[in-house]
Structure 1
């Protein structure tokens, strides 16, 4: 954790375009979500672009729905979306030997409820969820062969 960001990285054995295709399809987010809260998309395109909105069925103790908006986008390199509390979920992709480094970040720097996120320790739970998400991406795409 650094300030009001939580981040972690992993290398997967797939090209960035393939990883990006999964991340940019909100109807598949439940496949790699490590938090266990994402149930499925309720609205949105099959392929996200800057400014797109998409709705998700969620469950954190109780079921709820949330709408996200894509606020960062660079084809095959970067995608980030935020929810109404203006916290950003960001995925950065970097081609490396044997695959792609995937860095996931929860950035609540600009959130009007940032202090509440800190007080309730939600960012600590997000750190675990990020690690679990990255492990799921490694399961989906594999890990590069060790040299």
Structure 2
């Protein structure tokens, strides 16, 4: 299921896996390139935390046309239900984990409501591109969970 507004995109999927295990995958920056469906997350930068927590700062090697690095700060953290980090522009990547019959409902959100350059993000079609990448990310997370079983 997907929903979106001009500055908020949300994708939800039921994944047949334990909530804590799914949370642990997302809380591990080294796993971000494994689950990233956008193709833009390349690697966790050395020197960052092995596991995210509130206030943790971590950098990633990225590629969107050109290679670059991005610094993130964890701004929301309620284990095993919620984790979110903010980029330099102020937009937030958020994951919610809710127990459900058959597994865990995972919701990924791209929230640009607090971004400094919101209009530029919309004009560059980030909401549409991110929606497609988020669907693929949740597919990859489900594949990782299935391979684990």
TM-score range, shorter chain: over 0.9
Structure 1 match to 2:99: 95
- TM-score, normalised on structure 1? 0.94
Shift of 1:27: 1.3
Note if 1:59 corresponds to 2:71: no
Q: What is the Cα-based RMSD across aligned positions, in Å?
A: 0.8
TM-score normalised to the size of structure 2?
Answer: 0.93
Deviations 1:54-102 (A, max 9, x none): 0100011111101000001001100000110010000000000111000
* 1:112 to 2:116 alignment: yes
Report the alpha carbon displacement of residue 39 of structure 1 after superposing the two structures with TM. 0.6
Q: Does 1:2 align with 2:5?
A: yes
- SS of equivalent residue, structure 2 residue 53: coil
Structure 2 residue corresponding to 1:137, chosen from 133, 141, 146: 141
1:134 is paired with a residue whose SS is helix
Helix, strand or coil: the match of 1:39?
A: strand
Structure 1 residues not aligned, in runs of 5+: 143-147
Unaligned runs of 5+ in 2: none
Counterpart of 1:27 (choices 27, 30, 33) is: 30
After TM superposition, what 4+ stretches of structure 1 lie above 6 angstroms from structure 2?
A: none
How many residues end up aligned between the 2 structures? 142
Residue aligned with 1:18, SS: helix
User: 2: CA distance between counterparts of 1:61 and 1:120?
Assistant: 13
